[in-house]
Homo-oligomer: A and B are copies of this chain.
């Protein structure tokens, strides 16, 4: 099935260290998430994976996504829909602008968790695990189009 990539070996190591097996299915899903440059949902990952390996099952995709999330190798994003999106763990903290017009996702880097820890008193004593912010609105293009 899928084999080569720069990250493969380090992925294999991470899985094995966690007592997991490095299977072709998992390598494939990881690769697609990486290539996807963020923001694919489970079904889209499944469809793309299937093009390469037609016997792959949707359950395996879901199971893999869970595991990768657990091992902190992907982030699960919530855009206010009733399904989630996934992206490879990014190097720097960043967040997303979702355009309600065209669905486009714009990334912006911002160390929000660091900022909030300082700015919000309620954060004292709260052990932050993850900060997720999503901003919905209309991007430049769509904004122009809307006000006729």
Contact = CB atoms under 8 A, between A and B. Distances in A.
Interface of A: 76, 78, 80, 82-84, 97, 99-100, 106-108, 110, 112-113, 116, 119-123, 125-140, 143
A83 B112 CA distance: 25
Given A76-B80, A80-B76, A138 B127 contact: yes
B140 A126 contact: yes
A100 to B, nearest CB: 6
Contacts of A126: 97, 99, 106, 135, 137-140, 143
A128 B83 CA distance: 22
CB-based closest 7 A-B pairs: A125-B140, A108-B122, A133-B133, A129-B137, A128-B137, A127-B138, A78-B78
